[in-house]
Chains A and B, each alone.
Chain A
Amino acid sequence: METQEISKLTYTQAITELEEIVKKMQSPDCSIDNLSQYTARSLELLKVCKAKLTATDEELRKVLDEMSDDKGGA
């Protein structure tokens, strides 16, 4: 499996990889050894995806706030 530094993934990349892994996990050919490896990676990806949706990216917030005509509104 090609693993990329998880923090550098975009939401789309992370969820695409996550869905691929779940598909592999659902395959009857998936060994128990691979399964534990896949489970670990998928849980990390889930965490990243959820954080991207619900945790504030302060850097991004600051950049857009600077650009805004409504300072502090972003």
Chain B
Amino acid sequence: MEALSLIEYNSRIKRLLFDPSVQSCWVTAETSDVRVSRGHCYLELIQKNDSGATVARLGAVIWASTFARLAHYFKSETGKDFSSNMKVMVKLSANFHEQYGLKAVIGDIDPKYTLGDMERIKREILARLQADGIIDMNKQLPWGLVPQRIAVISARGAAGYGDFMKQLHHNDYGLKFYTCLFEAVMQGENCVPSVISALDRVAAAEDKFDCVVIIRGGGSTSDLNSFDNYDLGANIAQFPLPIITGIGHDRDVTVPDMVSKLHVKTPTAAASFLVQCGAAQLERLKQLADAIATISREAIVQSREQLAYFGNFIPMAAMKLIETSRLQLNSYTQSIPMVLNSRLSNERMGLRHAQESIKSAVASAMERHRLQLDSLTDKVQLLSPQNTLNRGYSLTTLNGHVVTSASTINPGDRLETIFKDGKLTSVVE
């Protein structure tokens, strides 16, 4: 039996593969181990079953001349670099090289398929977050009045982080912000665990911050789809502080962008938002200061008016009081003579009465005394010694004194006896 050389056998395989059924076929597969070398893109196309086990595998290549065009086209359509772990639809032509073996050469790619698949994944993640009841949790957190203490999750030294810091700290309003970087890998396979780890570190110092800003380091937009991850979405959605994300870009919004409190397109926009929050507060303070100034000014004007009013009122009131008093005085002046006359007249009448009474009392008293006098005169006349003498009695005196007792008379006393019609002297024996 004559044996074929290997190269002859391989040549037969090569010829078999010229069959149109394996040339220029559109095939759907998943990319793996994508690497670019000297402009050529080498990768593995794989197919997994429902349980995730690889059930088909084929080495593939996009030659440099095609890859330059396709890579650009793919990125412009999907917003992503052509990379591993993507569902793709590619036009394959089987090519067998005697020395290097089988390789599927990719001649074209349909980005819409990839886009659709990424959307499907995103939709599934969002549906799960919704079903878990956590999708809106971060959105429902309130902003503090002024988010000034900011935890930044980003890659140090990256352009986006630098832009954010510059925009925030050199704002036009002189607003002060306090930032703290929690470094994370923002692209590649480690991106999700790295960002989750940074979130855990922020959560441990939750009370020191008002909000979290997650911004990509800038530069390449490759592996953006790795952010479309349930665990990362769930972590962000349930984070206790409001989160601002600037992960996606204009056309592509990632799961974290969709569950965060606020999604902005660029790191600069995140900084602008925070600056505007502070500026709004400064404006609020200015309005309050204006209100205070206006109220105080108005109060002073009102008080002046009131004082001026009182100033006018006081002389008027005084004049009114003087006028009232003057009228009252006049009225008194007029009434005094009348009262006086009436009083004098009364007094005069009283005096007249008194005069009459005195006269009558005097007359009556005079009469009474005259009668008493008459009666006394009669009594005196009756009791007078002369009257007694007239009735036949005599009066004996000794040395001018009336003798009323015989014992007082001594012999030799010269007695004088008085009669009604004369006197007689006798000597006692």
Contact = CB atoms under 8 A, between A and B. Distances in A.
B299 to A, nearest CB: 5
A70 to B, nearest CB: 4
A62 B144 CA distance: 22
A69 B198 CA distance: 11
Given A15-B284, A35-B299, A73-B181, A22 B291 contact: yes
Interface in B251-304: 278, 281-282, 284-285, 288-289, 291-292, 295-296, 299, 303
A17 B166 CA distance: 34
Interface stretch (B172-180, B217-225, B343-351): B172-180
Given A12-B144, A56-B176, A25 B205 contact: no
A12 B145 contact: yes
A68 B183 CA distance: 8
Interface residues of A, number: 33
Contacts of A25: 291-292, 295
A65 to B, nearest CB: 7
B182 interface: yes
Contacts of B181: 68-70, 73-74
A64 B143 CA distance: 20
B208 interface: yes
Contact of B285 (A12, A39, A46, A56): A46
Interface in B103-150: 144-146, 148-149
Given A46-B288, A50-B282, A73-B165, A65 B146 contact: no
B150 to A, nearest CB: 9
A26 interface: yes
Contacts of A43: 292
A63 to B, nearest CB: 7
A68 B179 contact: yes
Contacts of B282: 50, 53-54
Contact of A49 (B144, B173, B176, B285): B285
Interface string B342-382: 00000000000000000000000000000000000000000
30 contacts: A11-B145, A11-B281, A12-B144, A15-B145, A15-B285, A15-B288, A18-B288, A22-B288, A25-B292, A25-B295, A32-B303, A35-B299, A39-B295, A46-B285, A46-B292, A49-B285, A50-B282, A53-B175, A54-B176, A54-B282, A57-B176, A57-B178, A67-B180, A67-B208, A69-B182, A69-B183, A70-B181, A73-B181, A74-B179, A74-B180
Interface of A: 11-12, 15, 18-19, 22, 25-26, 32, 35, 39, 42-43, 46, 49-50, 52-57, 60-61, 63-65, 67-70, 73-74
- List the 9 shortest-distance A-B pairs measured between CB atoms, nearest first: A70-B181, A69-B183, A64-B180, A68-B180, A69-B181, A25-B295, A54-B174, A74-B179, A68-B181
Interface of B: 144-146, 148-149, 156, 161, 165, 173-176, 178-183, 205, 208, 278, 281-282, 284-285, 288-289, 291-292, 295-296, 299, 303
